Each structure stands twice: as structure tokens, then as C-alpha cells.
Amino acid sequence: MSNESVTDVSADAFARKLAHARSLPWFRALYPRILEVQNLSDLHRLPVLAVEDEFGGGLFSALGDASHRAPGGGLTLTSGGSTGSCKQITHSWAFNAAIVHLGARMFGPADERPEVVINCLTAGEMQGAFQYASAIVQHVGARLLPAGSQMGVQRIAELIEAHKADALICTPSFAAALFNHVKVGVARLGSLKWLYYIGEPCSETLRDQLARDWPMLNIRSLGYSSTETGPIGFQCAYLKHGFYHLHADAMLLEVVDPLTLNAVAEEQTGEFLLTPLLPDHVPLLRYRIGDRGQILRTETKCACGSFLPVLALEGRIETSIKLGGALITQSQVLHVLRQLLPQLQATDVQVQIDRQSEGARMRLVLAEDTLTADTRSVIEDALQVEGQASALLRLPGVLGLEVKRLARQEFETTLAGKTPFFVTLEQTPALS
């Protein structure tokens, strides 16, 4: 598919999406300005859509409710909200069938295909990644071991050895736990040729460690996607970590300034707004996924044969959490810690908020390979007098701060197997 063909297909798909949106009376009531949108250049007239916003995510909730009521059924999934206010959306069965073809684009015509794939993503829990990955395995004609993420890494290792699995699909957090387990060695995992990750970025630390300790392992993303939008991009064998071919015939991507929401200049970094073009129960227009990056200018086709544009995924827009009435951001935490540990990366840290009946305690968990036990106590003492940290500790309801060293695989993870920067540990009520 040439650049011109991609542009034509994208324009036609957007026209159909726009016609569908304008044909729905309930959608016109939610988006009265949809009647002002005649083409792509008018899209900025519409509001930005998000699971969580200053209005409580009411617009997304209304779209989710409409998707549940749509005829023909579908697959209902939990959205990826990060503060506990997750919502559900139902994708049509036709949508779910169409995204498998997009996901399989990562396997080029000349690529060697895996033969036995073990899927260690979270099964159930209202998550769609496990089913999506399994469908891709079926599409490429490989044998599937549907292990899930709850069997325990030793049993997973036994399965890999017994079936000589040559490919593993999991989150980077799961991979870190598996490849660093003291009772799992080369004998158990020696058949693996490929690690396909999805759900969160694979840190440079983990990639370097796997390259050093497991040199036979090829590490690639299974794809860039979200629960709400479906596949966004794929990583061919010729793209480096963090780069993806945009599914431009199935996904419209705007790059905007995160504050003004105005489009940024070509090849400039900004926040991604997504408009899926595949037919589905409800139109998602200008969906705010929380990622930032840029679209690169490509004049020729990639070595893999694709003319699809390349996007660079550079990270997340600022994440935050409230504690004692104050808003704490990821950049604030890293700024304070980097005064003591200059080389610290976001993936080296997890902020755990232990909420109790009388208040909340803040726990800074640092990867044990980033500092010694002696350094831990020094950092804890220093934070007691550091300006921002000490001000936080004086807020009402803040019970204290501790610094803890843990192996990376012992960080708290979500049901989907992701390792968040901020995590809230709710106290379980005692049984009466």
C-alpha cells in the first residue's frame, strides 16, 4: 500500500466514521458540534474525550452505556483508567475480528514465525489483551499455550521446557519476574527465541539485562494499542524500541500541545489524540490516551515493505496522585530523588500510598539494584528535611514516609500485569 493509497483509505474511513456519528441522534445530543465537522480539518472543533477528566468522565460514560445497548452484542472490557475510576466499553464482534489482522502486521512476509507460543497475559478480569494475543497466534498459524499470568513462574517455566515453546507473550513486569526467578534457569527457558511484550513499556534496564543474560532472545513489542481504541501501531523487525508503524488506514492520530490542545508543528513532540476508524458500536473521536510522542516524516517505504508512517512513542503525559489534599506528580518525585540518585529512572521507582482509617502513609519503593541498604537509610533521613518532602509530611492525614528496597519483580502490579508509578494500597476492612 503506497502513501497515496494509505491517505485515500484513511480519508474514506474517516468519512464513514463521521457519517455514522452524525446518523446517531443520541450522539448528536452529546456532540452538537459534530454537524460542524465536514472533514479532517474540522475535527479540532470537537471536545477531547477521556476516561477521566475534570467533569468526571461523563462523556466517556455515556458512550460506554450506548455501546452496551448496541444491537449485535460484542466484547465488554474495562477501560485503562489510572485512578480507580475505570469504566467499561463494548466493542462489536466485527471490530474484534478486524483488529486481529492489524495486530498480525508485525509479522512481515519474510519474518520467521514462532511455532509454539505461551500466552502469559492476564486472562479474564475484564481485560482484552489475552484474547487479542491468542487470536494473533491463531492468525499466524502457531500452537498456543494459554497459560495466563496466575500459574506461577515455576509452572510457566515447566510448560516452556515441556513444550519447547519458542515465543513468550507477556508484560515486561511478568518477564522480569520470570527471567530473574532464582529457581528458573537456562535449561527451562532455553527454547525461547522471542519475547513479545505488551501493556507497558519495556525499560532499557530490562532490555539490557535480557540482552546480556539471554542473548538468544529477540525482544519486540506485540504492538501499541489500548483497550478503548484497539491497535494503534505495530513494530516491524526493522524498527527500534519505542518506534511503531502507525495503522494509518485504521487510526487517525493527532499530535497536540497537552495544555492548549492545539496541533504541534510537524515532527514535534506532543500528546496523542486518537480517532479509531474501524467500524464499531460507538464513535470514539479525539480520545485522550495519555501518551506523548511524534510522527516521523517518511519519504520511502520501510525495509519491511510498509509505507505506513512511523511514530515515536516517548512516554506518558504527567501522572499524579492526591495525598493530604496535595497533588503529587511523577516529575516532582523524580526531581527530589535525583538530587540524591542522579541516574534514577522512572522505572526504578514506585510510590505506594498505604491508606488507613486514620490517614495515609507514603512508601517510596526503589529497585534494589539502584542503591545499597546503607544508602536507603541515608535517603530516608534526607527526605525528612528536604523542602518538598518535609512540607508533604506536615500535611494533615499524612502519617509518614519510608523508603524501601525491593527487587523489581516485587513491585506492585495491576490486574493487567502493569507496574504503575503510583499505586494505592487500600486497607482491607476487618471481618466482623
> Parallel, antiparallel, or unpaired: how do β-strands 194-197 and 143-145 relate?
unpaired
Query: E-assigned strands of 47-154?
Result: 75-78, 88-91, 116-119, 143-145
Of 299, 307, 312, 308, which is closest to residue 268 (Cα–Cα)? 312
Q: What is the mean pLDDT of residues 16-20?
A: 96
Give me 275's grid cell. Answer: 480517532
pLDDT at position 54, please? 60
Say how far apart CA 349 and CA 340 lie, in whole Å. Answer: 13
Which residue bears the cell 528458573? Answer: 184
pTM above 0.95, yes or no: no
Which residue bears the cell 492476564? Answer: 122
- Looking at every residue in the chain, the average pLDDT score rounds to 89
Residue 308 contacts residue 295 (beta carbons within 8 Å): no
CA angle 188, 170, 313 (to 5 degrees): 135
Q: CA neighbours within 13 Å on the CB side: how many for 283?
A: 26
Residue 272 contacts residue 255 (beta carbons within 8 Å): yes
pLDDT at position 83, please? 39
pLDDT at 45 over 50: yes
Kindly report the number of other CB atoms within 10 A of residue 189's CB atom. 20
pLDDT at 336 over 90: no
pLDDT at position 125, please? 86
- Condensed to tens digits (0 to 9), the pLDDT of residues 167-208 reads 999 999 899 889 988 888 888 999 999 999 998 889 888 899
Exposure string for 411-421, b = 16+ CB within 10 A, e = fewer: bebbebbbbbb
Say how far apart CA 303 and CA 285 lie, in whole Å. Answer: 32
- Condensed to tens digits (0 to 9), the pLDDT of residues 351-381 reads 999 887 677 888 999 999 888 878 888 888 8
Say how far apart CA 283 and CA 229 lie, in whole Å. Answer: 10
pLDDT at position 82, please? 43
List C-alpha distances in Å: 164 to 168, 345, 375, 403, 426: 11, 35, 43, 41, 41
pLDDT at position 175, please? 92
pLDDT at position 392, please? 78
Which of 95-104, 246-255, 323-332 is predicted least confidently?
323-332
pLDDT at 37 over 50: yes
Say how far apart CA 354 and CA 398 lie, in whole Å. Answer: 10
**pLDDT-derived band at 325, boundaries 50, 70, 90:** low
- Condensed to tens digits (0 to 9), the pLDDT of residues 287-305 reads 998 899 999 977 788 999 9
- Which amino acid, one-letter code, is at 94? A
Say how far apart CA 165 and CA 145 lie, in whole Å. Answer: 8
Compute and round to an integer the Cα radius of gyration of the chain: 23
Q: What is the mean pLDDT of residues 114-136?
A: 95
- Is the model more confident about 27 or about 3? 27
Q: For the chain, what percent of residues have pLDDT higher than 90?
A: 60
Domains present along the chain, CATH in parentheses: 3-91+224-316 (3.40.50.12780), 101-221 (3.40.50.980), 320-426 (3.30.300)
Q: How many residues does the chain have?
A: 432
pLDDT at position 287, please? 96
Which of 226-230, 344-348, 387-391 is predicted least confidently?
387-391
